[in-house]
Amino acid sequence: MNNQTVMTDYLLAAIQGLKAAGAKRAVISPGSRSTPLALLLHRDPEITCTVAVDERSAAFFALGMSKVDLQPTILLCTSGTAAANYYPAVCEAEATNLPLIVLTADRPPELRGVGAPQAMDQQNLYASHVKKMVEMTVPENDPALLRYSFWQAATCTIEAQKQPKGPVQINFPLREPLLPDFSRQCSMQQDVSYLAPQQELSAEMITQLAPYFDKKGILIAGESLTIEEAQQLLAFSEKLGWPIVGDPLTNLATAGTKVGTFISQADLVFPQLTSAFQPEVVVRFGRLPVTKNVLLWLNKAADTTTWLFVDPSGQWQDQLHRANYLIEAAISAFVAAITQLPIVKHTAWQQQWQALQARADQVIAASPQLQQWDESSAVRLLQQCLPKEAQILLANSNAIRFFDRYGSKTSSTYRVYGNRGVNGIDGLVSTVAGIASASQKPTYLLIGDLALYHDMNGLQLLRQYQLPVTIILLNNNGGGIFSFLSQNTLEPNDFVPLFGTPLYLEFQKVAALYEADWHTPTSLLEFQTILTETSQQPRFQIIEVKGEQKDPVNTWQALQQQFSEAGAQQ
């Protein structure tokens, strides 16, 4: 048999292994060395393919797809620096436990290290950021090697889906000619299944934990929760009479339920807490929320406080190093087990926290600064106008913090996403494109001008696939996150070029380039009108909210002062 036939049989076996283990979609970054894999995936009726030319954008698009349903997404590129451009999204996938199957085409062994073009060391390219890396053999098609090809692809896909989920890399060295033989059919008929271990709490563990739920405690949630998980935790909070804290990505504010004591203004509330709010027990789910004031407060917890860390992935990412109990269990399993206990609700403790949250709600609602048109008030209004069943991706830096500070619990049910694994501002437009593509729902993106600039290539995916994504662009000419930090004390000659980083971009021209509708409202009423029209007719558009970097700082400082004064009057 010739090389074309051998290569085709070998790669068809690998693709069959990917499918058998649950991979049903692929994002392809076109290139030469990956030609046979790209063509065979693209022609496979059981694989839904998306073509994204820019590798960094493609990888974040795949990441966004896996965010929606936590299912594996195949990511394919050619050899050389193409694979290196996947690196940021691979790091984010590893940090947020998302199953990416990264297929990297490579030069064969005889072309490595000898000056051949587009050749670099792709083995272990992603180092510890992938759960597993496999260097495939050069294609052969005897039965043993076909089973090997199937098995490596299948087990890598399974590994990506095992807890903790994460990315894997399969490196394919391929010889020319690179066009496959389309007359060949896969001869592999093997099935493969992975049965996940049960994570129910044992009766012994429940008995051991029971005494802690007779005490005053607090629930702290981080990471991205599903709406269902958020509803379970809110019901748990209500049964215990304990407050629950979490940032917007937990969906606690948008789970559509009125039960539970959710502290939605943690950034405002926690610096004001007295010793009367000291918990005896802290139960944590996942990472810490984005709110730094929660971290500072937890760091001051008494040594007598008992810490329970619930983590279905078993990774124990406890940056506070305080956990007394490490509980590897799904949220649903943990809540169901503890709820069966004869718990006495801590009503007085609950009311104490509810009063503090009510004060925060009143101060925010009455704040004159939030009645004026600027970035902060626009974000608050956005939360109030998002339609039921919508979804929104929050960019890092100011976007997620404004959403956290000015939001409140709502009866509307919408899903909130973010890239908070390594907190980068790259790839966010591409990520939201992947979310919109995988979910087929009207989607929103709240993002700053600096983050949008970092991923303008992602706008091409929105244009190319006609995805109805509304981008709310907070444009204060540079982002403004450092205006909240100690760097803001620097002289302008230092601060502006290094931390203010003005771009002076005209985003109306950017919108025109990618054929997006563009709006620049000048009042809250005009902004609300645009959002109302969007909910009725979703479309690809950019709504630019212009502001000054100092404005959000002034608004936040005024709000903190108003909250403090309201407490003094009580």
Contact in structure between 277 and 350 (CB atoms under 8 Å): no
> What pLDDT sits at residue 256?
81
Helices (H), strands (E): how many in the chain?
21, 18
Contact in structure between 50 and 437 (CB atoms under 8 Å): yes
More confident residue, 52 or 422: 52
Residue 180 in domain: no
- The owner of tokens 């490196």 is 171
Contact in structure between 65 and 434 (CB atoms under 8 Å): yes
Angstrom distances, CA of residue 462 to CA of 58, 439, 516: 12, 14, 9
Q: What is the DSSP letter of 442?
A: -
For the chain, give the mean pLDDT.
92
Of the chain, the percentage scoring pLDDT greater than 70 comes to 98
Over residues 442-469, mean pLDDT: 96
Is 18 exposed, middle or buried, given 0-12, 13-18 or 19+ CB atoms closer than 10 A?
Answer: buried
Angstrom distances, CA of residue 15 to CA of 32, 46, 192, 209, 419: 19, 10, 13, 46, 29
pLDDT digits (tens, 9 = 90+) for 531-568: 999 999 999 999 999 999 888 899 999 999 999 888 77
Question: Are 554 and 478 members of one domain?
Answer: yes
Residue 444 in domain: yes
Write down which residue in 157, 173, 189 finishes a domain.
Answer: 173
> What pLDDT sits at residue 45?
96
Listed range (73-87, 360-374, 410-424) with the worst mean pLDDT? 410-424
Over residues 313-342, mean pLDDT: 87
Of the chain, the percentage scoring pLDDT greater than 90 comes to 73
More confident residue, 148 or 197: 148
Determine the structural domain holding residue 274 and report its residue range.
Answer: 203-356
Residue 361 in domain: no
Over residues 158-186, mean pLDDT: 94
pLDDT digits (tens, 9 = 90+) for 474-529: 999 987 888 788 887 888 888 888 888 889 999 999 999 999 999 999 999 999 99
More confident residue, 510 or 570: 510
Question: Are 475 and 528 members of one domain?
Answer: yes
> What pLDDT sits at residue 198?
58
Question: Are 128 and 220 members of one domain?
Answer: no
* Residue 326: φ, ψ to 5°: -105, 115
Question: Are 211 and 125 members of one domain?
Answer: no
The angle that helices 550-569 and 375-385 make with each other, rounded to 10 degrees, is: 70
pLDDT of 55 higher than 80 = yes
Angstrom distances, CA of residue 342 to CA of 152, 216, 240, 345, 379: 49, 15, 10, 10, 42
Question: Are 542 and 433 members of one domain?
Answer: yes
pLDDT of 401 higher than 80 = yes
Listed range (257-261, 400-404, 494-498, 556-560) with the worst mean pLDDT? 494-498
> What pLDDT sits at residue 311?
86
DSSP state letters, 115-181:
--TT----TTTTGGGSSEEEEPPSP--SHHHHHHHHHHHHHHHHHHHSSSP--EEEEEE-PSP----
pLDDT of 195 higher than 70 = no
pLDDT of 127 higher than 70 = yes
Question: Are 40 and 92 members of one domain?
Answer: yes
> What pLDDT sits at residue 315?
79
> What pLDDT sits at residue 93?
97
Question: Are 339 and 456 members of one domain?
Answer: no
pLDDT of 443 higher than 80 = yes
> What pLDDT sits at residue 97?
94
Question: Are 26 and 162 members of one domain?
Answer: yes
Of 209, 211, 193, give the one whose Cα is nearest residue 201: 209
CATH number, domain of 418, equals 3.40.50.970
Residue 7 in domain: yes
Write down which residue in 331, 356, 381 finishes a domain.
Answer: 356
pLDDT digits (tens, 9 = 90+) for 299-326: 888 889 999 999 888 777 788 888 888 8
Write down which residue in 128, 155, 173 finishes a domain.
Answer: 173
Give CA–CA dist 223/359, Å, rounded.
Answer: 27
> What pLDDT sits at residue 403?
93
Gyration radius of the chain over CA positions: 25
Of 66, 69, 63, 11, give the one whose Cα is nearest residue 41: 11
Over residues 249-253, mean pLDDT: 93
Question: Are 375 and 498 members of one domain?
Answer: yes
> What pLDDT sits at residue 474?
96
